[in-house]
Structure 1
Amino acid sequence: MTTESTTETTTDTERRILAILAEATTDGFMPWAGIRDQLPAGFWRRINALDALHQSGAVEVFRSRGRTYVGLADAFTRAAYRAPGPRRALVLS
């Protein structure tokens, strides 16, 4: 008897996040809550996938008025993540 594994890995979740963002018809950013609700259960799996995408420069994440927004990174951001040297956050107030 064989059992099929239905466990989704972080990489699978990353692919799903990218697919959701690619299909979005918004101006480029979506509320994280809208993306999160389309993913399989698992708080840490979702957060780890989002963090991995952000750390790799594949997505941009920002927070405004208590709400987190996620969007696909543009060419400038992807190039910045490939550049050598320390990364620093730019905070505008």
Structure 2
Amino acid sequence: MTTTEIEEHIVSLIRSHVADGQLIPLHRIDHQIPGGFWKRGEVITSMWQRGLIDIVKVSGSPLIGIPWPGWEHDPKSGPRRLLVA
């Protein structure tokens, strides 16, 4: 699969589990993402850096989701940051 096809598959997987703006534990869909461990990591990191997905780490476990419509950010400003206390 090409990188674009993997990205489309990831978006489809996320949307099949949760609505936009909601998060799902990455481990619930990770085994369904094609490619090896490093390829999956590269694709997910690239999607996050470009603002296509949101990732939040809670207690060491990454949660992944599609941003709410209208809440997308400008990739030129870098990845969106979230401070959790």
TM-score normalised per structure 1: 0.74
Alignment partner for residue 31 of structure 2, among 30, 37, 46? 37
Aligned-residue offset at 1:58:
1.2
Q: How far apart are residue 86 of structure 1 and its match?
A: 5.9
Give the CA deviation at 1:35. Answer: 1.5
User: Please, which runs of 5 or more residues in structure 1 have no aligned partner?
Assistant: 1-7
Q: How many residues align?
A: 84
Larger radius of gyration: 1
Q: Structure 1 residues 44 and 76 mapped into 2: Cα distance closer, same or farther (>3 Å)?
A: same
Residues 25-64 of structure 1 correspond to what in structure 2 (within 5 A)?
A: 25=18, 28-64=22-58
Of structures 1 and 2, the one with the larger relative CO (CA 8 A, separation 6+) is 2
TM-score scaled by structure 2? 0.80
Q: Does the 8 Å contact 1:31/1:69 carry over to 2? A: yes
| CA-to-aligned-CA distance 1:10-44 (integer Å, 9 cap, x gap) | 22211111000111147821111111111124011
Unpaired segments of 5 or more residues in structure 2? none
Identity %: 23
In structure 2, what is the equivalent of residue 5 of structure 1?
Answer: none
